[in-house]
Structure 1
Amino acid sequence: MSGYCDSAPGHPLHGPYHATEYGFPQREEAVLFERLLLEINQAGLSWETVLRKRAGFRAAYDGFDVDAVAGYGDADRARLMADAAIIRNRLKIDAAIHNARVVQRMRDTHGGFAAWLDAHAHEDGRPRDKASWVKLFKRTFRFTGGEITGEFLMSLGYLPGAHRPDCPVMDDIARARQAAC
């Protein structure tokens, strides 16, 4: 992602995301769900398009409240398909609703989405690699291919590569990780 470290600083949308979110650990369910939903919606589009529509997504998907989205029915699907403030794609909308229900079940099986991620972060005593994560995500969620899964996990620090090693943001990420422990 070294290109991102070079191009994002100073950009009105990419700059703040690069400096304060990308690669930083997150624990809050709504934040994790937002990141997954945004990565899914980025498929086939630019990340800038998604960032421009982020406020629209937040409003359309009830602030990324998992319980609200899990309860969506046909009227909500129709509302979302008509909402020009978001990316109107039936498969992506259906995936958001399905994935919200999956996250709800993770509360019972693992204590939540963050705990589920942590429980699967290692395989055979080593950090799980991207290919293994992709298989797990494809079994667990909808609309989570290799690029979506990889970017989602890099954006949270579960996979390396969000920033080049000499990017000044790496110090902030290290402090955030230490504070999370």
Structure 2
Amino acid sequence: MSATIWGPDGKSRCRWCSAAPEFLVYHDTEWGFPVSDDHRLFEKLSLEGFQSGLSWRTILAKRENFRAAYDGFDFDSIARFTERDVDRLLKDEGIVRHRGKIEAVINNARRAQELVKREGSLAAFIWGHEPDTQQLAKPQTPSTSAASVALSKDLKKRGWKFVGPTTVYAFMQAIGLINDHVEGCVIRAEVERVREKFKPPRR
């Protein structure tokens, strides 16, 4: 089976973006493009954690609800959440009501604050785990990589939760730490052009 499909504009794209109508826009405008904003990085890592055991379509459909429930994924705000907020979120039908995942985001918000104090920004820490250019030049197919295992271990060592290697690999794909658009996908070349101009934040 081909790794690409033809889009509505007659150009080829990664096959997975045809699995649901809303995937096309996400694929064309977000997935794989480099992200350096701390709140967006925290959001993407949190949502990948919520996806564990579920489909990305479920999470994407609820994303605006998640943003409203978690104060736009401002981790300084989330770090102040209390047990009352956990109870509120467990009653929120617009999000995934899983106590462990809900509490993990609050815990991770506090860990993110600690990282910012040490590293200057969450982005500087995350982009410090960018794989070498040889890896970036190749489309990836597995659900983990040496880089995702290393980042997962580093986060867990610092007290983060729901950040296993598979979750972290999906996060790395989503934020452009790697370009996993398949060869022949029209967006792959676009992501590469954006990456050439992108200056990763450093510690």
Same fold flag (TM > 0.5): yes
Gaps of 5+ in 1: none
SS of 1:120 mapped into structure 2: coil
Alignment map for 1:78-89 (pairs within 5 Å):
78-89=87-98
CA root-mean-square deviation: 2.2
Q: Equivalents in 2 of 1:105, 1:138: separation in Å? A: 13
SS of 1:92 mapped into structure 2: helix
SS of 1:151 mapped into structure 2: helix
Report the CA distance shift for 1:132/1:52 in structure 2 as closer, same or farther (over 3 A).
same
Q: Equivalents in 2 of 1:151, 1:10: separation in Å? A: 17
Alignment map for 1:63-142 (pairs within 5 Å):
63-121=72-130, 129-140=147-158, 141-142=160-161
Report the CA distance shift for 1:46/1:122 in structure 2 as closer, same or farther (over 3 A).
closer
Deviation sequence 1:95-138 (CA, Å, 0-9, x none): 10011111111221111110011233369xx9962332232233
Amino acid at match of 1:170: R
Q: Equivalents in 1 of 2:102, 2:154: separation in Å? A: 21
| Residue of structure 1 in register with 2:142 after alignment | none
Q: TM-score, normalised to structure 1's length? A: 0.88
Given candidates 168, 179, 184, the residue that maps to 1:149 is 168
Structure with more helix by fraction: 1
**Structure of greater Rg:** 2
Q: Percent identity?
A: 36
| Residue of structure 1 in register with 2:31 after alignment | 22
| Residue of structure 2 in register with 1:46 after alignment | 55
